[in-house]
Amino acid sequence: MDATVAVVHYPEGAGHATRMLAVARELEARGATVELAGGGPGEHFVDLLGYEEYVPTVVDFIGDYQGGGSLADVLTGSIPDAVRRVRDIARWLRRVNADCVVTDDMFASMAALLARVPQFVTTHNTPGYYDDLAERAGAKLLTRQQVAASRAFFYPAVWPALSGDPRGVERVPPLALDVPLDGDVPDVDVLISPSTYSDDLDTVAGRLRERGRDVTVVGGDDWTTVRSMLPVLREANAVVCPGYSTVMEAAVAGTPCVVYPFTSEQRGVARFVEAGGEPGFAVADNPAEAVRAVQSPPAEPEFENGAPVVAERVADWR
């Protein structure tokens, strides 16, 4: 693939970056020149893999609204930052002379339109996740814009087709960054992978330890950051997590996964996972349910990695 591909990840959490890094590496394996952008917590993983990325203005919608903020916080924080991020990315796309964009970032999708660069969207986000009217309306508007603007909208899912899935998307397997670790893979029994707002997972860890389980908490005192979670997940007997990034990684790793959601998006993902009924997953609403699910885990999931699938589709376009 003789092309310059701009890969832009959303600046929320680390999972957006690792998913897009998985696609970036597959594109490079097919001969593409990859330029990265995104910022946020995922920037650390970009550095760990030896890349440099452009950091545009960062938008923190979860902090401004989902994390206990208000519409006023969105109006004074997220919206002005969103305008700046779109502007920053559009200028950067022109500067790197990108032939196309692959992104899970709604603002990069808008920027690609401004810069007149063909785009491919890769995201699991759908209006069906949200009960809040403002969040649902925003997700619906953004999904329609991205479906209309993109050459393809890749929708990574660990559930069969559901009525809440967005229209006009191309379903692909879950995305996971698969690179070897610098050192030995740690021995893991139960892995707990928290997010910023998962405030009950310490309770889950404590109760599991009381029952004799060896619990490893990502980001805990005894945790060393790794370049990729997939080798660690392959060693684990079970994983407890709130967010979809780890759900997808667990699916590819073949590790039973207990989904314990906290934010509105996470609760929506959990509903889809539960409704889909695929083997490999259990959903918990409280610490007791999470502990029971780990002690009697679901079957091992079986999914291929969707990163090569996405990269091949982009390469075929070129």
What is the value of pTM for the model shown?
0.92
Asked if 108 and 252 sit in the same domain, the reply is no
pLDDT in tens, 163-222: 999 999 999 999 999 999 988 888 999 999 998 778 889 999 999 999 999 999 999 988
Lowest mean pLDDT among 28-37, 135-144, 165-174, 206-215: 135-144
Asked if 140 and 203 sit in the same domain, the reply is no
Asked if 129 and 39 sit in the same domain, the reply is yes
Assess whether pLDDT exceeds 60 at residue 30: yes
- The answer to whether 236 and 191 are in contact (CB under 8 A) is yes
Q: What tokens does 187 get?
A: 């021995």
Write the CA distances from 301 to 62, 144, 174, integer angstroms: 30, 31, 11
Comparing C-alpha atoms, which of 190, 279, 278, 280 is closest to residue 238? 190
- CATH (domain of 169): 3.40.50.2000
- Structural domain includes residue 233: yes
pLDDT in tens, 41-53: 899 999 999 999 9
Distance in angstroms (rounded) separating the CA atoms of residues 76 and 73: 5
Asked if 204 and 55 sit in the same domain, the reply is no
Catalogue the E-assigned strands of 159-298.
170-172, 190-192, 215-217, 238-241, 257-259, 281-283
For residue 265, give the H/E element and its range.
helix 264-276
For residue 112, give the H/E element and its range.
helix 106-115
The share of the chain scoring above pLDDT 70, in percent, equals 94
What Rg do the C-alpha atoms of the chain give, in angstroms? Answer: 19
- Structural domain includes residue 309: yes
- Structural domain includes residue 105: yes
Assess whether pLDDT exceeds 90 at residue 261: yes
Distance in angstroms (rounded) separating the CA atoms of residues 148 and 61: 23
Asked if 197 and 163 sit in the same domain, the reply is no
Residue 14: pLDDT band with limits 50, 70, 90: confident
Asked if 280 and 238 sit in the same domain, the reply is yes
pLDDT in tens, 263-280: 888 999 999 999 999 999
Distance in angstroms (rounded) separating the CA atoms of residues 134 and 74: 11
Asked if 53 and 96 sit in the same domain, the reply is yes
**How many domains are contained in the chain?**
2
Asked if 163 and 29 sit in the same domain, the reply is yes
pLDDT in tens, 284-317: 999 999 999 999 999 999 999 999 999 999 999 8
Assess whether pLDDT exceeds 60 at residue 71: no
Mean pLDDT of 37-62: 90
Asked if 313 and 232 sit in the same domain, the reply is no
- Structural domain includes residue 97: yes
Asked if 206 and 133 sit in the same domain, the reply is no
Q: By residue range, what is the domain housing residue 241? A: 190-295
Mean pLDDT of 3-18: 93
- Structural domain includes residue 126: yes
Q: What tokens does 40 get?
A: 């946020």
Asked if 260 and 310 sit in the same domain, the reply is no
- Structural domain includes residue 125: yes
- Structural domain includes residue 180: no
Higher pLDDT, 126 or 255: 255
Average pLDDT for the chain: 92
Asked if 95 and 129 sit in the same domain, the reply is yes
